[in-house]
């Protein structure tokens, strides 16, 4: 099997996807723009061969790299990056080289457009917030008059909280249109009062879930970025049944084959007409790639598995022999800010929670806006232990 992995060095833990593929006897062929000598030994050892392009944004460069691998190794079986930024390019390369194990160029919009995502949730029978494409101020005002303030506006094709606004009054609505409105497609949604949760995992070639996990996000990413909050979220110890049922229906609706997926939902904290009662699930967005940052590692710690291996096994064998019923924990992420002064220093946290902390490190600047600068990842046996850990990380002087 010949597997092209785009950008195997970033995020820095993703070489493990490649390593597990290689352990399964796969030819793992890496493409990126970094010098080979600058790659870590872990990345180098995880690859059969590496091709350096001048610019990963230049499609001609990427095409030539894939063509080189195809001429040397034969038919390419997979092209993947597991990275939101490259999904459209991955799909274009699959189309041009007739790689059938992932979405082609004409299909990828279903995975990228927030408007198309709404249609997928509808197909699965999962309710979503009312929305419009707010191309004019008059349309936006009409929508607000229907659903009321606040409303959320964000790029129809975008990642994270970039260019996302919470509009709470007419003055802010006018500012959005006449000061901020760029030449891109936006979507405007009614505001949902609910807790953000996710259904994460891995599907096989029949869009069946081989493994899954649930994450809980107390603060929306938009608030973390816009209000410069600390970042905290956790992997749940167990999977809520209603979330699992809804998530599986959504994956079938999207025909999500051979994916490490990250599906986002709200659990309503207040009932809303047309959506459901308190505690019900409402669809938000789909992300057909592994969850961001260190979340795959958190899932591993929480479920005592290696999702890098599960994913590689599914890509290779369409299943996995890994034991998925091992000890489970609450695994919590806490990211702190350089410009805040905390009661407990980094070393204080390490000393108190030495037996629970799995990772403590510093994030690259490109991720710090949403996830903080220095971070801790810790396993806790109970929710009470986790809440104490969060409290100690968050206390300010």
Residue 183 has pLDDT above 90, yes or no: no
As a whole-number percent, the residues of the chain with pLDDT over 70 amount to 98
Residue 178 has pLDDT above 90, yes or no: no
How far apart CA 287 and CA 254 sit, in angstroms, is: 11
pLDDT for the residue numbered 364:
86
Residue 241 has pLDDT above 70, yes or no: yes
Could you report the per-residue pLDDT of 185-219, keeping only the tens digit for each?
999 999 999 999 999 999 999 999 999 999 999 98
Kindly give, in sequence order, each residue whose CB lies less than 8 Å from that of residue 388, ignoring residues fewer than 6 positions away.
none
Task: Report the first-to-last Cα separation within the chain, whole angstroms.
Answer: 56
Confidence of residue 292 (pLDDT cuts 50, 70, 90): confident
Kindly give, in sequence order, each residue whose CB lies less than 8 Å from that of residue 364, ignoring residues fewer than 6 positions away.
none
How far apart CA 367 and CA 91 sit, in angstroms, is: 25
The pair of structure tokens assigned to 226 is 């816009």
Q: Which residue has the higher pLDDT, 357 or 12?
A: 357
Residue 170 has pLDDT above 70, yes or no: yes
pLDDT for the residue numbered 110:
84
pLDDT for the residue numbered 267:
96
Residue 184 has pLDDT above 90, yes or no: no
In what side-by-side order are the strands of the sheet with 194-203? 281-287, 260-268, 194-203, 209-217, 231-235, 330-336, 374-380, 357-362
Could you report the per-residue pLDDT of 87-134, keeping only the tens digit for each?
999 999 999 999 999 999 999 988 889 999 999 999 999 999 999 999
pLDDT for the residue numbered 274:
83
How far apart CA 272 and CA 283 sit, in angstroms, is: 14
- From the list 313, 312, 291, the residue with the least C-alpha distance to 302 is 291
pLDDT for the residue numbered 273:
85
Residue 158 has pLDDT above 80, yes or no: no
Q: Are 106 and 150 in contact (CB under 8 A)?
A: no
pLDDT for the residue numbered 214:
98
pLDDT for the residue numbered 161:
55
The pair of structure tokens assigned to 241 is 């049944």
Residues 163, 167, 170, 172, Cα dihedral to 10°: -40
How far apart CA 268 and CA 338 sit, in angstroms, is: 33
Confidence of residue 162 (pLDDT cuts 50, 70, 90): low
How far apart CA 255 and CA 207 sit, in angstroms, is: 6
pLDDT for the residue numbered 160:
57
State the chain's mean pLDDT as an integer: 95
How far apart CA 13 and CA 75 sit, in angstroms, is: 27
As a whole-number percent, the residues of the chain with pLDDT over 90 amount to 87
Q: Which residue has the tokens 């274009």?
A: 92
The pair of structure tokens assigned to 66 is 């894939």
Q: Which pTM does this prediction carry?
A: 0.92
pLDDT for the residue numbered 307:
98
């Amino acid at each position: 099997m010949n597997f092209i992995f785009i950008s195997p060095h970033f995020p820095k833990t993703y070489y493990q996807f490649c390593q597990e593929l290689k352990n399964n006897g796969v030819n793992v062929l890496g493409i990126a723009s970094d010098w080979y000598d600058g790659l870590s030994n872990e990345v180098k050892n995880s690859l059969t061969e590496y091709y350096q392009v001048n610019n990963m944004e230049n499609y001609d460069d990427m095409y030539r790299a894939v063509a080189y691998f195809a001429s040397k190794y034969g038919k390419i079986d997979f092209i993947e990056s597991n990275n939101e930024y490259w999904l459209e390019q991955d799909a274009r390369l699959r189309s041009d080289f007739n790689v059938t194990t992932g979405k082609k160029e004409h299909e990828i919009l279903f995975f990228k457009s927030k408007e198309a995502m709404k249609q997928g949730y509808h197909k699965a029978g999962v309710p979503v917030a009312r929305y419009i494409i707010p191309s004019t101020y008059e349309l936006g005002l009409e929508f607000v008059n229907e659903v009321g303030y606040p409303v959320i506006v964000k790029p129809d094709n975008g990642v994270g909280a970039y260019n996302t606004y919470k509009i709470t009054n007419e003055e802010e609505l006018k500012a959005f249109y006449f000061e901020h409105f760029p030449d891109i497609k936006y979507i405007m949604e009614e505001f949902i009062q609910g807790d953000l949760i996710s259904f994460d995992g891995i599907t096989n070639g029949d869009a069946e879930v081989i493994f899954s996990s649930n994450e809980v996000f107390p603060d929306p990413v938009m608030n973390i970025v816009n209000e410069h909050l600390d970042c905290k979220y956790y992997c749940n110890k167990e999977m809520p049944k209603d979330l699992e049922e809804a998530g599986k229906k959504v994956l079938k609706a999207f025909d999500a084959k051979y994916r490490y997926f990250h599906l986002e939902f709200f659990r309503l904290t207040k009932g809303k007409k047309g959506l459901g009662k308190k505690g019900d699930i409402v669809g938000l967005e789909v992300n057909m790639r592994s969850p961001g940052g260190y979340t795959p590692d958190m899932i591993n710690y929480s479920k005592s598995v290696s999702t890098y291996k599960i994913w590689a096994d599914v890509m290779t064998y369409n299943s996995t022999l890994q034991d998925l019923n091992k000890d489970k924990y609450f695994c919590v992420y806490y990211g702190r800010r350089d410009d805040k002064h905390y009661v407990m220093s980094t070393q204080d946290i390490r000393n108190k929670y030495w037996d629970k902390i799995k990772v403590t490190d510093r994030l690259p600047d490109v991720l710090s806006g949403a996830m903080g600068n220095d971070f801790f990842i810790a396993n806790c046996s109970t929710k009470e232990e986790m809440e104490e850990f969060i409290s100690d990380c968050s206390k300010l002087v």
